[in-house]
Each structure stands twice: as structure tokens, then as C-alpha cells.
Chain A
Amino acid sequence: MVHLTNTLNRFGYIHGPHRIYKRMQVFRFTWHYYGRHRRCYKLAVQRLHKAWLHATRNRKMKGLLYKEIWQTRIDAACKEHGIKYFEFTESLTRQNIHLNHAVLNDLAIYEPRTFKSLCNVAKQHIVNTGLYNLTLEEPEGVFNRSMFTDELKQ
């Protein structure tokens, strides 16, 4: 090793930074690990590098997982208005209503009346074009409040 810049120093040999500071950088990421993996450098570095590998791999999965949740939510909201998820999305795309899954999810949760009107638009489109066979009538064997109103009035 040749340290040419050390000739400028008149008062002594310039050392590099101590290893403790490099270790502190690692421990900053491993404070929440269990056991010796949080305090022993050799184990902590191994665990940290593996964790970073997992993180890079799973970053792609995050979007897919979110889409799965959005689909279940939109499906649940559609069923309340008597239409299925794939019928709803298919008819919206055919009408050039290009709404994102994220947007439809937000509408389903926070603006249910807007979502209901969207469902009505999709239903009318399906009825007009005959895309699917919609079951718009109420099924048998399900009791409604309207069945009892006549009895109550009497």
C-alpha cells in the first residue's frame, strides 16, 4: 500500500475510519431482528443481504397483491347491485369508460352512489346489446321487507 497523500501530513500517519462506523451502518437496519442476528455483525450482515434480496423480488408482487384485493372489493360492490365483476368491467371497457381498478375501488368504498350509477350504466348497456344474460329479477326464496308492508298497514 502506498499512501502518497500521507506525505502532506507533518504530524503523523492518517488512518482510515474505524470499523465500528461501518458496523453501525449495518446495525441501523437490523435493530428489529431477533436474537444474535441483531447484535453480531457477521450474522447481521448475512441476514440483511438476504432480506434485501427478498425485498427486491417482492417489490413486483406488491402491485399484483393490491390488484387482487381491489378485485375482491369491486366484486363485492357489484354483487350488491346485481351484476358480476367480469360483466361490469367488460361492459365498461366496451363503452370506452376506462376507469382504473384503483379508482373503481375508491369509488366503491367512499362514493357508493357514484358506483351504483356506474353499475346501472353497465346493466343498461348489457341489456341493450345482449352481452350477457342478466338475472335482474329477484330470486325465489328470499324474503323482502316489501312482502310484509301490506300486512303491517292492515
Chain B
Amino acid sequence: MAFNRVKQWTTFARVWYLFDAKWQDPIISGRVLSKYLLGKNKPIYSVGSDCGDYVVVINSKEIALKDDLWRTYNYFHHTGYAKGATYTPAWEYHENDPTRIIKNCTKNALPPKIYRNSLLSRLLVFPDDKVPKDVIKNITDQIQPSMTPPKRLTEFSEDEIQNFPRLFEWPKEFIIDDLKGENNQTVKII
């Protein structure tokens, strides 16, 4: 049964996906990645079958958290001894290991079962876009990012800024400091 053997092999082959985490919310993207790790993106999905895919995440250094979460969200840890509780804010947590937040978010999105660690072993996270060549050769497909990365004010050209539609014009007395200039300070009113 050579035809059927090969057909079976390709249907159950693990697909390697690429995910660009630049300007992505790790909580939302963790929910998306968990579906790929579980195999819920395939019509052959079943609860017992181990049909999950591999996911390679790049640019995890440049993830974006919602609101003021970098400052307010705390990661809790307890040593087990008295007064052993520690609260590390997200920005500190991210500075220590830039791959850690997105891993944690996908872990939380997965069901709390014993196979969770084996699924997470198929999640490869890299802080930059520097990925080893062996990994890149395996990749076939790309996961669609949920958020489009926004454009900064510095990235716009001057013509675009001037031609941008505006409701009203500032009075001549109102002076905005040039952001690129040396005297980069807050807005002054003379």
C-alpha cells in the first residue's frame, strides 16, 4: 500500500510555521499560537491524537503590551519560605529574558494538562530575526499576525505630514518644538 502509506505520512506530518512577533500583543498571539500547537488548525484534529505543529517565533524582543501593562502588570513568584513573595514588573521580566513573556502567555492559553510541556517544546522563540539555518530550512508557512504594526511619526516623510488631513490649523502663536531638534522639550505656549 505504497500510495496510502505516503498519503498518511503527509497528512500527519508536522508543519513548521513562522510567526513575527513585532508589535504583537503576547496575550492575543498566545491564544493564536496555542491552537497551532494543539493542532486545532487542521480538520483531522482529535483530542487524543498528537497532531500539533511547530511554531518559530521571531522578534520577540519587540512585542507590545496593552495600556500601561509594562509598568502595572506584575509576575508573582514565591520561594516557599516566609516573606518569600516577589513581584517583578513586566518590563523587568522582559529585560531579563525577552523570550519569556510570549512563552508564558502561550503556556497559559494551553489546557492545564500534563502534555502541555511537550507541546511547548515545539515552540521555538528567538528575540531577534537571527534564526539558525537548520530551523529556517524546515519552515514552510507563516501565521497571519493579528495586529498591523503602527507607523511612528519619525517614519513619515514631511510631505505626508503636511498633506495629512486636519480639522483645523494651529494659531501662529502656538509653537510645537521640533521633535528632531536639539531642544526636544515639552510643548510650550508663549
Interface residues of A (CB under 8 A from B): 69, 72-77, 79-80, 105, 108-109, 112, 139-143
A139 vs B144: C-alpha distance in the bound complex, in angstroms?
A: 8
A79 vs B142: C-alpha distance in the bound complex, in angstroms?
A: 14
Chain A: CB-nearest residue to B39 = A76
Residues of A within 8 A of B45 (CB): 69, 72-73, 76
B145 at the interface (CB under 8 A from A): yes
Query: Is the pair A141, B43 in contact by a Cβ cutoff of 8 Å?
Result: no
B135 at the interface (CB under 8 A from A): no
A108 vs B71: C-alpha distance in the bound complex, in angstroms?
A: 46
Interface residues of B (CB under 8 A from A): 20, 40-47, 142, 144-145, 148
Q: 24 A-B contacts, Cβ less than 8 Å apart?
A: A69-B46, A69-B47, A72-B40, A72-B45, A73-B43, A73-B44, A73-B45, A74-B43, A75-B40, A76-B40, A76-B42, A76-B43, A79-B41, A80-B43, A105-B43, A108-B43, A109-B43, A109-B44, A112-B43, A139-B144, A141-B20, A141-B145, A141-B148, A143-B142
Given A141-B20, A142-B142, A143-B142, A77 and B43 contact (CB-CB distance below 8 Å): yes
Q: 9 closest Cβ contacts across the A-B interface?
A: A77-B43, A108-B43, A73-B43, A76-B43, A76-B41, A109-B43, A72-B40, A139-B144, A76-B42
A73 vs B47: C-alpha distance in the bound complex, in angstroms?
A: 11
Residues of B within 8 A of A74 (CB): 43
Task: Tell me the number of A-to-B contacts counted with CB atoms below 8 Å.
Answer: 32
Residues of B within 8 A of A76 (CB): 40-43, 45
* Min CB gap B58→A, angstroms: 13
Chain A: CB-nearest residue to B18 = A143
| Extra contacts besides A75-B40, A77-B43, A141-B148 (9): CB < 8 Å | A69-B46, A69-B47, A72-B40, A72-B45, A76-B40, A76-B43, A76-B45, A80-B43, A142-B144
Chain A: CB-nearest residue to B40 = A72
* Min CB gap B22→A, angstroms: 9
Residues of B within 8 A of A139 (CB): 144
Residues of A within 8 A of B42 (CB): 76
Residues of A within 8 A of B145 (CB): 141
